Structure 1
Amino acid sequence: MQTVTSRSTNILLFLIIIMLFCSVSMIAANAAFMVTDEIYQGVTVGDIDVGGLSITQAQQKITSIFKERTTKVAIITANYQERNWSISAQDIELSIQAEKLAQQAYNVGRTGNVLERLQERYLAVHQGHQLPLTVYFSQEKMQNILTGIAKQIERPAQNARLMLAGSSKVVIEPEVIGCKVDLNKTMAEATTKLNNKIAFAFDISVEETAPAVLAKDLEHIDGLIASYTTYFDPRDYNRTQNVLIAAKSINAILIKTGEVFSFNNVVGLRLAEYGFKEAPVYINGMLVPDWGGGVCQVSSTLYNAVLLADLNIEERTAHFHPPTYVPIGQDATVADNQLDFRFKNSLPDNIYIVSEIFNNKLVVSIFGKTLNNPPVIYVTLADKKVLEPTTQIKQDPNLELGKQVVEVEGQKGFIVATYRVKQIDDKIVKNEFLASDEFPPIDRVIRVGTKVLTPQINK
C-alpha cells in the first residue's frame, strides 16, 4: 500500500515539474519577444514586409514604396476581353496614412492578455500576419472613371438578321451579344484589391445578354417563299406615317416553326405617344378620322403574303367596307384590344418576315426554306353576290320646297367567299375555304326641302 502511494506521489511531482518547466519556457519565450522594440517578423502591410523594423522605419518604408509605385505609372489596369484601361493614383487622388499603418503593424502581438499576445506573435513569425493596406481615394472620381469605361464596353444586344444579296439569295448577319457593366460589383472589386495591393490588374464585371434571334435560328432559311405588294398615296401624310410605323414594326421578324404571330402584340397600341397620327378609318360604316388610320393596310398586306406562303390563319376579320388596296375578301382589319390578325408558322422550318417601303409601295416578303418544286398558291373568289343599296328620303325644313340634296352617295354591298388554291404540276391538290365575308351596302341618302317661302307683298 505504501509502495502505491509513493509511486503516485512521484508521478504528481513529475507532472508539477513539467508544468513549471513549460511555464518558465513560455515566460522566457514571451520575454524574448518582449526584448525587441521592433515590429515582429512576419508582419506585412498589404504586400509590404515591415517585420524587424521600428515604427519610424516602417513608416518610411511604406511611404517610400507607396510613392515609388504610384508615381508616373498606372496603378490599376482594368481588363475586359482584349481591351484594358489604365488608372493612375492621381486620377483617383489615392493616398495612405503611413504613420497609422506603421503603428498598427507595431501593435501586432502587443494587445490582449498574455496568451493572446503570445499566440499572435507566434503565428506572425511562423505563418505571417498581413494587415490591410488601407488607402484613401475619391469614390466619386473612381465611379466616374469606371462609368466612362462602361460606356466604351456596353452595347445593346442585336438580333441576327437576314440580308438580301441580289433578287433571291440571302445571307445571314450574325447576332451581336449585348454587354452591361455591373458598376457596383466592379467598384467593390477595385476597392477590395486597393486595400491589399497598391498596383494590380482586375477584370471588369460584365453581364452578357444574347438577343432573341441567333444566327442558328436563320440557318435553314435560304430564299423567298412568298411576297405581296400594295400601294398607298404618300401625299396623305398622316396615313403614310402610320403605314411606315406599322411596316417597320413587323420588319425583320423571326417566327419559329409552330409559333403564332400576333399583329397587335408586335405593332402595339396605335397611340399618339408612339408616333401614330389621326387618319380616316371606317367606324360603324362611316369614314372618320381615328388614331392609326392606315395600319390595316399593313395587316392586310401581311395577310396576303401569309396566304401565299401557305401558313395557317388563326384569326382574321374583314373590314366593315372593303378597302381599295387589296381585292375584295382579302383584307384583314385590326383594332386595339379588339380585333387582331394572327397566323401560325405551320411549316417545318422557321420563317422570316421582311417589310419594306419603296416610294408608294408596301412590300411584305416571307423567307424560309425553299422547295425544289414549290406549289403554286393563289386566292380566288366564289359565290360573289352584290347587295344593292336602298335610297332614304329625309325631309329638310331648312331646305327650299322641292329642292334635293344628296347627303350620302351610297355604295353597293357584297357577299363573297374566298378560297386558297394550291396547285402542284398544274393539278389542284387543295381548295381551302378561307372565309365568307359580308360587306353591307351603304344606303343613298337624299334630303328633300319642305320649306315654303312666303311671297313678298309690295306696298
Structure 2
Amino acid sequence: MPLLKTKFLAKIGKKLRNKKIRAVRWVVLGISLILFVLFSFYNFYFLGKIFPGIYVAGANLGGKSPTEAIATIGQEVNIPQKIVLSSSDTTFEIFLNDVGLAYDFIDSARAAYGLTRTGNILYDLWTRLSLLASPKTLGVRFTLDEQKLNNNLSEIADQVATSPVYPSAKIVGKEVVIDKGKAGTQVDIPTLRISIGRALSYPTGELVQIPVKTIDPSISDEEAEGFRKRAEIFINKSLEAIFEYQDFLYKGNDLVSFLNARGGYDGEAINTLALTISSQVDRQPQNPVFVFEGGRVKEFTASKDGVEVQKEELIGLITDNLKLLEENDQASASIEIPVNKTAPKITTGDVNNLGIKELIGRGISRFKGSIPNRIHNIVLASSRFKGVLVPPGETLSFNQLLGDVSELTGFKQAYVIKEGKTVLGDGGGVCQVSTTLFRAALGAGLPIVERVAHAYRVGYYEQDSVPGFDATVYSPSPDLKIKNDTPGHILIQPTVDTKTATLIFEIYGTNDGRIATTSKPIISSQTPPPEDLYVDDPTIPVGQTKQIDYKAWGARVSFNYSVTRAGEVIYKKTFVSNYRPWQAVYLRGTAPAQ
C-alpha cells in the first residue's frame, strides 16, 4: 500500500512539472513574439530614417531622414572660422579659409544614416539596440588642403620648438673643442594633426594644445672625453675621393664631422657626402660633336660614358677608410669612386679620321685674385687655342699660335714681368695660359721642346700646384713648344671658368699606351726676399703708399719628367727653375695734401 501511494504521488508531481514547463515556454514565446513585433515595428518605423542615439557634433539626428539631418547639422553645429593653437602663454590662429576647409553636411548625414546599415544584419540589429543604451556621436565630415595646413603647422612649429644642439667636435689650431650638445624641444606634428582633426570634427571653440616633446642629444663628460680623443686622431689626416679628373679632398674638421659622438660613424653625414659626390659625378652618356672648318675644329664635344656612382659601395669605402685612418698612423687615404658606366651610342673616333679619339692629357690652373684686365687677357688668349689641331710629327709654338699681343689685337694692360720688374703691359695674364698648356702636355706625355720658367715665383701658379710647373712666354722668346709624337692629330681644347677662376686645357688624340710621370719637385737654395723698397712718388699725396711689386722667396726647383710605353722609356727630361728672390716695392707719396 505505501508503495502504491508513493508511485501515485510521483506521477502527479511529474505532470505538474511538465505543465509548469509548458506554461514557461508559452510565456517566453509570448514575450519573444511581443519583442519581435515591437522590434519589427521599431525598424519599420525608422525605415528611411536615422535611428535614435546617433548624433553629429552634438546635433541629435535620431528619427530624421538624411535630408532633415543635413538641415539639422547646418542649423545646430557651430562652424568655426578659425582654430586656435596654444603653447604655454602663446596662441596661434589658423584661418580655415587659408587651408581650404570645406564642411560636408551631406556626407556627415550619410555617415549617420549608414552607421546602422552596413549590410551585416546581425551587426546592424545589435548596433540599433545598443544605441538605445549608449548613444554615439560622430564628427562632422570635412575636407581641406593638407599641404597648406602642413605649411602652417611647420611655421608654427618653428616658433614653438627650440632646436637641440647636437654634440660636435671642432679642430681649432692643434686642439679639439667639444660641444657636448644641449636639449631642445620639438612639436609632435602627427599628434597635433590628430587633435586639429578632432577639433574640426567636433567644433567647440576650445583651444588646441600644441604637443611638445623633449629631444636631448647631449653626451656625458665621459662620452665627451672619448669623442675628443677620437677627433684628435684626425687633426693632420685627409681622405681623398677621385674619379677621372675630379678630386674631392676632405681633411681635419671635414673628417671629424663624420664621427658619431657616441661611437662609430655618422651614417647620415656619410650618406649626405655620397649624395653630394654623386650629384657632381653622375652624368648621362654623351655623343660627340666634331665640326672641322678651315683647318680648325670649330665645334667639339668629346664622347663620354654615362656614369652613375654606386652610392652604397661608396658609403662602405668612406666608412672603411675613416676606420683605417682612425686605427692606423697613416696620414692620408685615397678612394677611387665606384661607378657604373654606360657607353654612348657614338664615340669620338667614329666622327673623324684624324685620330681624335679620347682625352689624353689635362692641365689646370687657378687665377683667383686677378684684376679684371688680367682675366680678360686669359679668356682672350685661351680662345686662340680653341680647336687647334697639331698633325703627327709637328711642333706647336705657343707664340706663333697666340699671335701679336697688343691693344690692337684686343689685349688689355695688366701686370707682366719685364726687364726685372713687375709692370703694367699689354697681355698680362697670357702666361697663365702657357702655364696651363704646359701642364696639359705633361699629362699627355708629349715631348716639351722648349719651356722657360718665370723670373720669380708667381702666386697664381701655386694656388693649386707645387712650384716649378709654370711656363713663361714673351714674343719672340721665350716660347713654349710642344711636339706631337703620337700616331694621330692632337686637338687642343681650353675652358675658362671666370666664376671659379679656373683655366683648363684638355688635349685629345689617340692613346698609344704611353704613361707619363712627374717626380715630386726638389726645392733647394731657398733665399728670402730683399727688404721692402719704398720709392718717393710726387704724384701720390703725402701719407699714402701704393704697392707695385710683391715679395717672393727665391729657390731652385727641379723635377723629372718621364714617358714610358710597354715598360720602355720613350722620353725623359729634367726641368729646372731658378727663381730669384723678389722684392716688394711701394710708391710713397710726397705730393702736398689737397
TM-score relative to the length of structure 2 = 0.36
| Higher relative contact order (CA closer than 8 Å, sequence separation 6+) | 1
TM-score relative to the length of structure 1 = 0.46
